[in-house]
Amino acid sequence: MLLFEKNAAVGIGSLIIFIAMILVAGIAASVIIQTMNSLEQQALQTGQETLRDVSGGLRVTHVSGYKSGSTIDQLAIFLRTTAGSYDMDLSEAFISLSDSNAKLILNYTSSSFSDNVSSGLFGTLDSSILTASNYGIMKIRDIDSSCTSVNPVINDDDLVVLLVNTTKCFSGISTRTKVFGSVIPEQGLSGVLSFTTPSAYVDTIIELQN
């Protein structure tokens, strides 16, 4: 009888240990599953953000300058989206610009916007209202009318010009000056600016980057 009671006690103890092991294993499995789900969601989100960063962006097609006196006092930056890009909101984009001596950050101002270039590349917008921290926008092509002064959104086949008053930014740009920077969108690839001004300014309008 005593031997039976001892065996029964050992069996109950083993059963308790077995049940505890099952409970611990269940909890561990639940934690692992939750961790895997969290990692999967994070991986999907990271993948989507990465795709947006590499599949969309802005492209600078060329840059022109306007000579006034002995310096260039305005820049016209021709801008469009990259091939297959999603819509780009230019109100969230900024220009990083340097003349090798100073570096400035310029944001869009809705007070300097035109839906055409009827008075010429450098005669349509009043550049005097632009400052060392603001740029303006002129539309050249906007098939779906998505680009407005309040919401300057560009997409496939749209082409706009960003106007910068370099007199306000750098007191003008002299000859033989290295200028570089980027048009940086909220997400996606940045449009690159990089040129060196010629050794002499002959024409009034000068092609600086192609």
CB 173, CB 165: distance < 8 Å:
no
pTM of the model: 0.75
The residue from 37, 55, 73 where one domain ends is 55
22 with 64, same domain: the answer is no
Q: What is the pLDDT of residues 111-132, one digit of tens each?
A: 999 999 989 999 999 999 999 9
42 with 73, same domain: the answer is no
CA distances from 206 to 10, 31, 64, 69, 197 (A): 96, 65, 6, 13, 9
The residue from 39, 55, 71 where one domain ends is 55
125 with 198, same domain: the answer is yes
List CB contacts of 210: < 8 A, sequence separation 6 or more: 62
33 with 67, same domain: the answer is no
30 with 74, same domain: the answer is no
* Among 181, 135, 197, 195, CA closest to 160: 135
Q: What is the pLDDT of residues 183-193, one digit of tens each?
A: 999 888 999 99
Q: How many domains does the chain contain in total?
A: 2
Residues facing residue 153 across a β-bridge: 89
List CB contacts of 150: < 8 A, sequence separation 6 or more: 110
75 with 118, same domain: the answer is yes
**CA–CA dist 193, 208 (Å, integer):** 10
24 with 72, same domain: the answer is no
Query: Which segments in the chain show pLDDT lower than 70?
Result: 1-13, 39-40, 43-55
Looking at residue 32, what is its pLDDT? 81
Looking at residue 49, what is its pLDDT? 59
99 with 48, same domain: the answer is no
64 with 136, same domain: the answer is yes
Looking at residue 5, what is its pLDDT? 54
Q: What is the pLDDT of residues 7-36, one digit of tens each?
A: 555 566 677 777 778 877 778 777 787 777
Q: What residue numbers bound the domain in which 118 lies?
A: 58-209
